[in-house]
Amino acid sequence: MTKSRTLFIQMTGWLTVLGGVLWVIKAVSILLTGYQPPLIFEIAPMLLALGLVGLYWRLGEKVSGWGKAGVALAALAFFTRLGTTIYEATPGAIIPTGETFEFPYSLFVLVGAAGVFIGLIFLGVDFFRAKLLPSPAHAIPLTAGLLVFPLGVTGLIHIEAPILFIGLMWMWVGSIIHA
């Protein structure tokens, strides 16, 4: 592996850790104070999507159709979230408050979030198969991606609880990308 490729992969691993840290900060802040710091929710998915590109590059020649689909979803998630964030800054933007669904804004937020989670599962399948790391570390990306669904159920108790755990899992995935 070339030095620039290795550096890129390590950088995306750190960006993934940072994205996870931002979600942990968001969740803890809301749980303790009821206040969400600005831009944390918006920036974290973009960093996680960039991390998935690093995971894709880490797979190298061992990437299959699953991994290609995963990185395509990550790219879609990145650009969707970036566009949504730019839209939020425009005067007159219709942004829902609370739990309402405003089309097309809410759809783009959903695509931005779902793209990183589904992309992680698809890339996790390839990472698991490639066994680039010894067991059980090779299963971490896939496990983290699959755990999103049962953690999402805890959102019925408190919406921030799953975000806290998901943020911790993304930090874990970032350490694997960087390794």
105-134 pLDDT per residue, tens: 888 888 988 999 999 999 999 999 999 888
Number of domains into which the chain is organized: 1
What was the pLDDT predicted at 100?
80
Whether the CB-CB separation of 174 and 14 falls below 8 Å is answered with yes
Instruction: Give, in degrees to the nearest 5, the angle at Cα 128 between 76 and 134.
Output: 130
Burial class (CB in 10 A: 0-12, 13-18, 19+), 128: middle
- Residues of the chain with confidence (pLDDT) below 50: none
Say which residues have a Cβ less than 8 Å from residue 38's Cβ, sequence separation at least 6.
none
* Owning domain of residue 152: 3-178
What was the pLDDT predicted at 69?
97
For residue 75, what are its two tokens? 């790219």
What was the pLDDT predicted at 156?
63
For residue 87, what are its two tokens? 């839209």
136-146 pLDDT per residue, tens: 888 999 998 89
Whether the CB-CB separation of 131 and 138 falls below 8 Å is answered with yes
CA distances from 38 to 35, 50, 104, 128 (A): 9, 21, 22, 36
What's the pTM?
0.90
